[in-house]
Amino acid sequence: MIVYRTIDSFKPGLIENLLKSSYKRLIDYFPFDKQGFYHQWEKEDYEAFNNPDTIGKYVLFSCLGNNPIGYFSWDDRRYPLGIIGQNCILPSYQGQGYGRNQIESVIKIFQDKKFHELRVVTGDHDFFIASQKMYMNCGFKEHRKMKGDLFNLIEFSKQI
């Protein structure tokens, strides 16, 4: 059974490592951009772990026992619009409903705070097809497409 743990339960580097593992196949598509991805993920890790009362407060790790298998993040500063950030699951645990469980959990967090709309962005690339389907299966609808640096992006929205 999945349990969610806060950032103070872990050491810095975990977010970066989860992202590197979860997005390895994407990096295989864009090997020349590997360092750019790694730099961004190192920065996300640093910001969350070094600001546990602000940014880090909006991060939860999905764990089986003591083993973190993924994490998700969110931003509630734009009430009544909630923003879902990262949503990653390690490859060996993908396709088992854990990512959907994370999304349903963050939806509940926003519902409890009486938010009206949620948005999440994912890529318009083959790597992200499973994510796109998961968001639609959770009731999100395509809101808009945006130009990205390496691939285009899709923003999904959901009324809650």
| Largest Cα–Cα separation, the chain | 43
Q: By C-alpha distance, which of 13, 8, 5, 11 is closest to 45? A: 13
Domains present along the chain, CATH in parentheses: 2-159 (3.40.630.30)
pTM: 0.94
For residue 69, what are its two tokens? Answer: 């298998």
Cα-based distances in Å from 98 to 9, 31, 92, 132: 20, 28, 11, 15
For residue 39, what are its two tokens? Answer: 């730099």
pLDDT, mean of each 10-residue run, the chain (160 residues): 95 98 95 96 98 97 96 97 97 96 97 98 96 97 96 97
What is the DSSP secondary structure assignment for residue 114, as one 8-state letter?
Answer: T
From the CB of residue 68, how many other CB atoms can be counted at a distance below 10 Å? Answer: 18
